[in-house]
Amino acid sequence: MMNSIEENQIINSLVKDFNRSPLQINQLHSSDSELIRLKTNDNSILTVTTDSIVEEIGLGLYDDPYLIGWMIVMVNLSDLAAVGADPLGILISEILPNNLDDDFKNKLQKGISDACNANGTYVLGGDTNFGDQLILNGTAVGIISGGNVISRVGCKPDDILYTSGNIGSGNALALTKLVYKSEQEYKYKPMARLREGKLIRKYTNACMDTSDGVISTLDQLMRLNNFGFTFVDNWSTSLETNSKILFEKYNLPLWLLLAGQHGEFELLFTIPKSNEIDFLKSASDINWNPIKIGKATKQCEIILPIYEKKVSLDGQKIRNLANITDLNISKYLQSLLDLDKSFRQ
């Protein structure tokens, strides 16, 4: 099941000869952030995660150095958020082209610094090298101080599916930057949901961040849990306002805001019905409004109500589109529009 996704195949193939630490709690694919029980303490868990920014820069999706710096921190902290950890800090490895000017570098570092400050965390160290392309790698380290451990696995049919905030902004950015090359900057500045992740940890039985977009995330959860998901009828109210306006302006189907593979770094998680009242009360106590977008189902499908039908989305097809279309964004968008056309028939 995992192997029908090329990304999973690549990962499985790369790690196939590795031994796995007996101290590591999570299985391959089953957590956003690696979990290592600390020998030295009774309950604490050390969590570490690594993520690079390469293609986003190469494609021109991130061309603002401040955003690049901001994102290398946020993508990693978002993985810590997905396991409800307190961050200890982040290591940043930078590969810089020789011709990079100081202004660019300063903005890059400012983005890193601001993103750390915004989350009360720190750059702990790093590494600098020079190469042909600008490439950033981050490794975040966090501590989970006892209590529940979240993974991506554990949801059950009829669990309620929530998102930590409005969705679609990642794909709205991709549309403006890559397709319409609009002069108007689309405001994109995700915040890792660390505070929310710590609360979610008490009530959820599966959680994952939407770094690859909502459908990719649900598809991964579906494959890991062997359960499907059905969106609520009014799912489009969960969309981020400016993203929705943008897609309407260009006459693009709104569900593509879920299908595109550049995410908004929200948390997608399931809450058992029995926990829902307590969960919502705790969320309200911290002035946070999680958004109900669907529920888990016995049937292994992702069902989206559109065009007055219950459309079954082919997660495998949608996730592999980026590879099939060879990262050509016009082809990629056209393939999604072809899919949309088939739903309307």
The residues binding a copy of itself (CB under 8 A) are: 10-11, 13-21, 23-24, 33-34, 36, 38-41, 43-44, 46, 48-52, 54-55, 58, 88-89, 91-95, 105, 109-110, 112-113, 116-117, 121-133, 135, 137, 139, 141, 143, 145
Q: Residue 226's closest CA among 297, 158, 313, 292?
A: 297
232-263 burial by CB neighbour count: b if 16+ within 10 A, else e?
beebbebbbeebbebbeeeebbebbbbbbbbb
CB-side neighbour CA atoms (13 Å) of 291: 18
Q: How far is the CB of 164 from a copy of itself (least distance, A)?
A: 23
The whole-angstrom separation of Cα 345 and Cα 343 is 6
DSSP-derived secondary structure for 305-317: EETTEEEEE-HHH
- The nearer residue to a copy of itself, 92 or 191, going by C-beta atoms, is 92
Nearer to a copy of itself, 91 or 300 (CB): 91
Quick one: which of 186, 343, 209 has its CA closest to 266?
A: 209
Minimum CB separation from a copy of itself for residue 78, in Å? 13
In the bound complex, what is the minimum distance in angstroms from residue 39's beta carbon to a copy of itself? 7
CB of 32 to a copy of itself, least distance (A): 10
Q: Which residue, 100 or 254, has its beta carbon nearer to a copy of itself?
A: 100
Q: What is the closest distance, in whole angstroms, from the C-beta atom of residue 19 to a copy of itself in the complex?
A: 6
Please, what is the minimum distance in Å from the beta carbon of residue 167 to a copy of itself? 23
Q: Which is nearer to a copy of itself, 129 or 251 (CB)?
A: 129
Any residues with CB less than 8 A from the CB of 68 and at least 6 apart, and which?
A: 53, 56, 57, 62, 108, 111, 134, 136
What's the chain's Rg over C-alpha atoms?
Answer: 20
Residue 287: both structure tokens together: 């002035």
Type of residue at 46? L
Residue closer to a copy of itself, measured from CB, 35 or 172: 35
Taking the complex as a whole, the smallest distance from the CB of residue 137 to a copy of itself amounts, in Å, to 5
Query: Kindly report the CA angle at 65 between 120 and 130, in degrees rounded to 5?
Result: 100
**Which helix or strand (DSSP H or E) is residue 339 part of?**
helix 329-344
Q: What share of the chain is helix, strand, coil (3-state, %, to 5)?
A: 40, 25, 35
If the CB atoms of residues 37 and 177 are measured against a copy of itself, the closer one turns out to be: 37
Structure tokens at 282: 């705790």
Between 51 and 209, name the residue whose CB sits nearer to a copy of itself.
Answer: 51
Between helix 65-81 and helix 102-118 the angle, nearest 10°, is 30
Paired with 163 in beta bridges are 268, 291
Q: How far is the CB of 135 from a copy of itself (least distance, A)?
A: 6
Helix (H) or strand (E) holding 163: strand 160-163
Closer to a copy of itself by CB, 14 or 183: give it.
14
CB of 139 vs a copy of itself, minimal distance in Å: 4
Q: Judged by CB, which is closer to a copy of itself: 129, or 342?
A: 129
